[in-house]
Structure 1
Amino acid sequence: MDTSESTTDNGAAPQEGPQPARARARGWRRWAMDTRPLRRPAYRRLWSSTIVTAVGSQLTAVAVPKQIYDITGSSAWVGYASLAGLLPLALFALWGGAIADSMDRRRLLLITNSGLAVTSVLFWVQAATGLRSVVVLMVLLALQQAFFGLNSPARNASIARLVPADELPAANALGSTVMQTGLVAGPLLAGALIPVIGLSELYLIDALALCATVWAVVRLPALPPQAAAANSRAGWQAIAEGFRYISLHKVLLLSFLADIIAMVLGMPRALFPQLAAQTFAPYGEGLALGLLFAAIPVGAVLGGLLSGTFSRARRHGLMVIAAVIGWGAAITGLGLTTNLWVAVAFLALAGVADMVSMVFRGAILLSAATDEMRGRMQGVFTVVVAGGPRLADALHGTAGSVLGARAAIAGGGLLVIAATLVLALATPSLRTYRI
């Protein structure tokens, strides 16, 4: 890893944000969530806006496939819609990362959050008027994902300007916990609200939540690009420079690779329906399916609430390796059990491991990259996080139909462990990385 010009002696990028306030936690605070970043008003505003939208965005995430299924009666169309959103998300996340490095990130957040709010209003209009057009829904979904792709790199890259280096894991834990809570609460709330207020109003609630986000962003300080990037252009050349930067800074490349290993080889969600119908049918197929889908985010929320136990660790690379191995072990256990409650426990443990991995991979991205490159790094991160599970769906679905669900899941978990151990042994720059 070449860090001679872009990082400090210990491998971490110099910080432009607030200076650290080091205080040793005492008593229960040693294991409870580290809330130090919330003492900083700018970060607190950014985080507070996430609380509102985490649930609101999940209302739309439930409403769109439900509406498509109601129109077509086909799950295949629901799958096509998911793919329709992937390409604009990937393209605009890469471009959005370059834009985030060349313009004021606060301004970019205002534009993209406003675009997301307008898109949610358009979703509401088409549903309220009874348009019943799958084409319109897929176009709006693609537009929404494009705005999300532009928004996410700027939002994540801004964190390192709002908190000091030693609080980055805590800040990532706070944000990730809110998002995972939304994954649990949002679908449950959507299921309760649809029979009461109807489908179209879910879109309207999301639009109102996004308006609150816009107001929170208005109150952020200006986040202009650093001098080195002030005159850069957000074109394909800038995107290519981002990939070259990754190739020259091995720890960044390895952090992406660790996530790809965990998600592509070890994310078994495509096999949950098969598990519910075959292995766990005696427990009730509907109950089993709901528990399987909820277990990982519930575990991640639990990991976030107890993140004080790990968020102060300084050996970030070693924490990523341990978390991915833990994920693989939990997925292997899922494949080996025939007891639903044991399976749920293994998935919850996987969720905890995923939270630890998210916290420290995010911290590595923010600390190992210079500010003029953070947007592009977050753009690549968004593509990896969004694309990995979709590739896993195809891989596990195919393997499950050939080998059976349990064998495919257990095999995937073992592959995660083996591949991560090889990665750790072959690349000392990741396992020795620390701030």
Structure 2
Amino acid sequence: MAMKTALLDVTPLRASPAFRRLWIGRTLSGFGGQMTLVAVMFQVWRMTGSTVWTGAVGLAQALPIVVFGLFAGTVVDHGDRRRIYLIAVTGQCVCSILLAVQGFFGHTPVAAVLVLVAVQSSFVAVSGPASRSFAPRLLPPAQLAAGLALNQISFQAAMLLGPALAGLLLAWAGVGGCYLVDAITFGLAFYGAFGLPPMRPEGEAPRPGLLGVADGLAFLLRDPVVRGALLTDLAATVLAMPISLFPLINAQRFGDNPRTLGLFLSAIAVGGLLASAFSGAFTRFSRPGLVMLGAAAVWGVALAAFGLAADPWLGLAFLVLAGAADTVSVVSRGVIVQLATPDALRGRVGAAEQIVGQAGPDVGNMRAGLVASATSGPAALVSGGLLCVAAIVAIAVTAPRVRRFATAEA
């Protein structure tokens, strides 16, 4: 019985047909999105042979979300979120179709490809906050953690398997084929959301423009629970993000073996999948604040230990642990943010979450690279992990409401 309760809780899929359709559509769309990411990188590299241009792909994806995110959140809080989401998904689908057309016929300037990527990301800036508001309306509070864990396992599966599927499809159908598959999966995401009930925000409508953005920011600064949850995410990513250090650690300690480097990234994904598969062990716990803080601290400790590990297998084990801790923290943080945020503000708060999730890892990887250039790769990992733990302890001490936050069943 104990093992059964520790496994992934699929009750939301059984209990809510609307959530089930939405989850299936978004899961398949996640695989399509990973295929497009790989295809764009591959196409831009083939067109330019320049790492500057391949780096610009990430910039084209991130900038619209960071720049337009809070404004998009205000839009989401103004109207029927289901309708807004369907419009945004349609926009993403059209961009994928245009990418497929240029992929099949070729001779497109690389700048035009990046513009299409940026436009598609602008629609993501809208669809992301809208979709984050659905689960609390479709599921009772007792099932929300399980629903978010299901979302997380689909995300982890797409991250792990999507690039491999993209590689096979690139070899068979080229970049145009990858983009076309992505467009089809957006159609499935549209179908998954089409049957949802209307999702108009509950409560007072936001003020227009910058005033609505200011109200959202004021809530983030004023509410200690939501603020503490987002600060926990920033502490974990900005202070301890390890990805940019993997090539250096691999070269210094493991002979610059490309197979080891690939395993570093896979290990984090495997840890995330394992945590999602056994998410019943923490989604049924009624104190998500404690779970989030503890998992974020384990993330920091595991990465510091990876920085000290001389044996590659021991290092991979620490990365698996870090990936599992990250998933536990992400799911628990999502529960806290969703339950602590009034429905009228969920679009703007979801946009802030999306911005933090987009910008935090990029800033963290930059911080790690700068520290490593001044010291060493292991020093950057260890110092980042310990700083993360110190920040989590500070949040736990100064924001007791985060520690004490409990679901309705507590």
Match of 1:107 among 73, 76, 83: 83
Gaps of 5+ in 1: 1-25
| Deviation (angstroms), 1:70 | 1.2
| Deviation (angstroms), 1:233 | 4.9
* Matching residue of 1:193: 169
* Matching residue of 1:326: 298
* Matching residue of 1:167: 143
DSSP-derived class of the 2:198 partner: coil
DSSP-derived class of the 1:143 partner: helix
Aligned residues: 406
* Matching residue of 2:406: 434
* Matching residue of 2:12: 37
DSSP-derived class of the 1:103 partner: coil
Question: Taking structure 2 as the reference length, what is the TM-score of the superposition?
Answer: 0.96
> Is 1:50 the counterpart of 2:22 in the alignment?
no
Match of 2:239 among 265, 269, 275: 265
| Deviation (angstroms), 1:364 | 0.8
**Contact 1:169-1:311 within 8 A present in 2 as well:** yes
> Is 1:315 the counterpart of 2:291 in the alignment?
no
* Matching residue of 1:6: none
Q: Distance in 2 between matches of 1:270 and 1:66?
A: 20
Q: Distance in 2 between matches of 1:75 and 1:279?
A: 25
Segment drifting more, 196-205 vs 91-100: 91-100
Instruction: Report the structure, 1 or 2, having the larger helix content.
Output: 2
DSSP-derived class of the 2:384 partner: helix
* Matching residue of 2:181: 205
| Deviation (angstroms), 1:376 | 0.8
**Contact 1:120-1:203 within 8 A present in 2 as well:** yes
* Matching residue of 1:133: 109
Gaps of 5+ in 2: none
Q: Which amino acid aligns with 1:83?
A: L
* Matching residue of 1:19: none
* Matching residue of 1:123: 99
> Is 1:396 the counterpart of 2:368 in the alignment?
yes
* Matching residue of 2:69: 93
**1:333-386 Cα deviation digits (max 9, x unpaired):** 110112222222111111111111111110111100111011111000000001
**Contact 2:272-2:326 within 8 A present in 1 as well:** yes
Q: Distance in 2 between matches of 1:392 and 1:327?
A: 14
**Contact 1:299-1:352 within 8 A present in 2 as well:** yes
**Contact 2:39-2:178 within 8 A present in 1 as well:** yes
Q: Distance in 2 between matches of 1:141 and 1:338?
A: 40
| Deviation (angstroms), 1:84 | 2.7
* Matching residue of 2:254: 280
Q: Distance in 1 between matches of 2:224 and 2:100?
A: 45
Segment drifting more, 327-336 vs 233-242: 233-242
Q: Distance in 1 between matches of 2:156 and 2:354?
A: 16
Q: Distance in 2 between matches of 1:104 and 1:234?
A: 16
Q: Distance in 2 between matches of 1:191 and 1:372?
A: 42
What is the RMSD computed on CA atoms of the aligned residues? 1.3
Q: Distance in 2 between matches of 1:234 and 1:115?
A: 23
Q: Distance in 2 between matches of 1:327 and 1:27?
A: 25
**After the TM superposition, which parts of structure 1 deviate over 6 Å for at least 4 consecutive aligned residues?**
none
| Deviation (angstroms), 1:29 | 2.3
**1:369-405 Cα deviation digits (max 9, x unpaired):** 1110111110000000010011012111111222121
Q: Distance in 2 between matches of 1:119 and 1:237?
A: 31
| Deviation (angstroms), 1:27 | 4.4
* Matching residue of 1:13: none
* Matching residue of 1:253: 227
> Is 1:220 the counterpart of 2:192 in the alignment?
no
* Matching residue of 1:8: none
**Contact 1:92-1:147 within 8 A present in 2 as well:** no
Q: Distance in 1 between matches of 2:171 and 2:203?
A: 54
| Deviation (angstroms), 1:189 | 1.0
Q: Which amino acid aligns with 1:287?
A: R
Question: Taking structure 1 as the reference length, what is the TM-score of the superposition?
Answer: 0.91
| Deviation (angstroms), 1:214 | 0.8
| Deviation (angstroms), 1:280 | 1.4
**Contact 1:95-1:234 within 8 A present in 2 as well:** no
**Contact 1:264-1:389 within 8 A present in 2 as well:** yes
Q: Distance in 1 between matches of 2:381 and 2:362?
A: 16
DSSP-derived class of the 2:283 partner: coil
**Contact 1:96-1:149 within 8 A present in 2 as well:** yes
% identical equivalent positions: 36
DSSP-derived class of the 2:253 partner: coil
Q: Distance in 1 between matches of 2:203 and 2:393?
A: 40
* Matching residue of 1:340: 312
> Is 1:83 the counterpart of 2:59 in the alignment?
yes
**Contact 1:71-1:132 within 8 A present in 2 as well:** no
**Contact 2:203-2:343 within 8 A present in 1 as well:** no
* Matching residue of 2:275: 303
Q: Distance in 2 between matches of 1:408 and 1:388?
A: 17
Q: Distance in 2 between matches of 1:277 and 1:65?
A: 24
